[in-house]
Chain A
């Protein structure tokens, strides 16, 4: 029997895409949500990761102007693409499967 394929997303990609499942979000919010899962990235490292996900067409990003207090600022916002949503589901399914042929240390 051929071995089962690994999930299409890495755990980190899975986590990032998961933050965008229910709504589009600004980058800083995504970064804060990751931090809540103890995944801490510097701003540059975080946006580099997001840029790679964009290049892989898993997410889409754009700039949007918002007003904070009396100050107008722009921020990068992201949403999940169809491909991203599909791959996220595939990965979720992989982790939902019960472990087959689990080896216990005591059997070894």
Chain B
């Protein structure tokens, strides 16, 4: 016997009206036909489908449902009418498509960056454990032993630059050092091979590497046989054990490869082994509970690890997603708000257009009504028209969003987390279109009620007319649009001023005619010194090059190495209380080449050799902190790793430079001579006499001539680097500028349409005025004055709103107050001017009409 449950399920799925009379007898025949063991399921499905077909067919032939047949008729009528007068549908579709496109673009970005779950197993349980951002091995060890809130903790140390050699084109890799359980913690399995095991964390067993999919593709052509072979990393052989998929990207560091985070218990010092810690929360533990436990543990760790009392005060356990998108939340919130305003302007505008259109069609609707059309049929006509417009706009909007997203992906700041996950989200587009569609259909229906419920006779007799109420409601809509345009334009003006302020920031060096690149030789200190000496000589000899020098990290690179400073002869400060500075290793002539001013003392020279007394240069920030009111030259200083704990004599005080970004205060920074403190990871700066790009190829060629195996990357001018460092504010500024321009244009269209419609409605009145002696200027003033009322109302409400909202943008602003009077003054003047221009055309037309023609009718 066939399963009675499947029959019952099929019956439940059939249309209720056909179950008893059609499904029940038919299914019995089926049961009898298939016998005891026959397969019934597909036959049941076919029966259910057939029942629905009959139901739908019945719907169309039943007399009470015949109104459905009117829909195609309405659609044909609408299309015919629009063919004769395409301005209205084209304008409406363009306005709506613009709104849908902009909203879908921004919502797709927001979804990809903020809402889409991280591509890891059970991502909500992943957290960053931050007593301090970086922890020493001993602290990680203590946390792992004592904490009970996690099923696993893992160490993560990004940003290790290692040259990959022995391949066709040598490359500098960005390597992350991670604990062995790092991959399992995120639940990411390798494409090929395996992750490294726990034994790899022991010094001596750590020369194993897991490659990223991107590196596997670019350097090894997706050759699976690379697993199990050795590659040259940092001049040493590393065994490739696995390949990880692209989605393994944490804290937005673009890792090329992963090597083990070794825990040498004989080397517990903070400076040599520090990492960030991630964890997977145990079941039923929340980040808040884990934070409380962490603060207790950090208090316990202060004394044994000799930390200052303030250490770990801000200890927190943060969900990984918060950590990843925290910085971009403000940017995205601003953009989402901006697009929301743009959408509202578009909807208000379309509402206005529909309202005007309907007022134009009152006679037609009244005629239809008097010939017997019911209110329902008239509404059906308008709903069909609106639906066609919305559907056309939705498709156009999705097209716009597709193009815009491709452009946005290119324009977005490269360091924005999860930027590669941005793609057109049809669900977002559909949702926006659906919401907008409902709003538009509702807007199209509201005036219908006014038209069709009013007595038809006046409209049939008098033709077009307008009540004061509908004119006022349109005026309020226009004022609303103006207010929203003011808010958008204010945001754009403030960001424009921010961008301008950023351009005016002095980076601390002469950025023009400066070529930069990363060059990373490996070897012993002596061989690296010899390599650089040869490179600097050859590059300096390239025609068009004035001078060349090397530095550890380039300005605005965002990378730095830190050192605790201690002045000789003063009591050594406790850990955590010393002045901590970034340090750079620079070659002789660096300050002159980069154009960084030496304010006191002398530059580094070739005489500052490994055998000469150690020397150091400090910037004005360090000078002000360590030697307030004194001359630092000649004083002696230890600077952690920068001087390897030894004392160095201060020989120069140099100007401050922005190493992180232009918005942060520069410094503190110390500099040591490259010959006394050689480092592997280095950058080259070249001062050129001509355009830097013109000599770039010759410079790279001369470096390759020294050693073809040394990776040369990121060949860019310093101007480009500076421009890239303000990508994020530029992106917001440009986007808001585009939204503001669009918003202003939409508002102008709105003002124009309402004032022009008002003029048409008042043709007779204006004609009488003209006939009674009103001159053209008086009539123009009258029309412009009508528009001015809406604009004044819009400005009066928009400016205070913009002021309030500007305070929430404060963290995005730089060098300009949220209540910047210049920005708001400019906005008011711009919006008023645009609105004034929009009212001029109808005003001119009103004054140009011949009163005799108008009165004659």
Contacts and interface: CB of A to CB of B under 8 A. Distances in A.
B22 A73 contact: no
Contact of A48 (B1, B18, B33): B18
Interface stretch (B23-31, B259-267, B442-450, B585-593): B23-31
Contact of B21 (A47, A69, A73, A74): A47
Interface residues of B, number: 21
A1 interface: no
B18 A44 contact: yes
A61 B21 CA distance: 10
Nearest to B23: A44
Contact of A47 (B1, B25, B31): B25
Contact of A75 (B21, B22, B32): B32
Interface string A74-92: 1110000000000000000
Nearest to A27: B25
A28 B22 contact: no
B29 A75 contact: yes
A44 B54 contact: yes
B236 interface: no
Contacts of B53: 44
A49 to B, nearest CB: 9
Interface in B11-69: 18, 21-26, 28-33, 35-36, 47, 50-51, 53-54
Given A51-B21, A71-B1, A44 B26 contact: yes
A43 B47 CA distance: 8
A42 B22 CA distance: 11
Contacts of B51: 44
Contact of B32 (A45, A54, A68): A68
A50 interface: yes
Contacts of B47: 43-44
A54 to B, nearest CB: 8
A71 B28 CA distance: 12
Contact of B29 (A43, A45, A71): A43
B28 A74 contact: yes
Interface residues of A, number: 23
Contacts of B25: 27, 47, 50, 61, 63, 75-76
A27 to B, nearest CB: 6
Interface string B441-464: 000000000000000000000000
Given A28-B29, A51-B21, A74-B28, A45 B35 contact: no
A68 B1 CA distance: 12
B9 to A, nearest CB: 17
Contacts of A43: 26, 29-30, 47, 50
A70 B36 CA distance: 9
Contact of B50 (A44, A63, A69, A76): A44
B54 A45 contact: yes
A48 B36 contact: no
A46 B30 CA distance: 13
A71 B54 contact: no
A28 B47 CA distance: 15
Contacts of B30: 43
Nearest to B25: A76
Nearest to A44: B50
Given A48-B18, A48-B22, A75 B28 contact: yes
Interface string A17-43: 000000000011001000000000011
Given A71-B1, A71-B36, A48 B54 contact: yes
B42 to A, nearest CB: 14
Nearest to A73: B32
Given A51-B22, A73-B28, A75-B29, 11 more contacts: A27-B25, A44-B18, A44-B22, A45-B50, A61-B25, A69-B35, A70-B36, A73-B32, A75-B25, A75-B28, A75-B32
In the A-B complex, the 10 residue pairs with the closest CB atoms: A51-B21, A76-B25, A43-B26, A44-B50, A73-B32, A47-B25, A47-B22, A28-B29, A48-B22, A47-B26
7 contacts: A44-B23, A44-B51, A44-B54, A45-B54, A68-B32, A69-B36, A74-B28
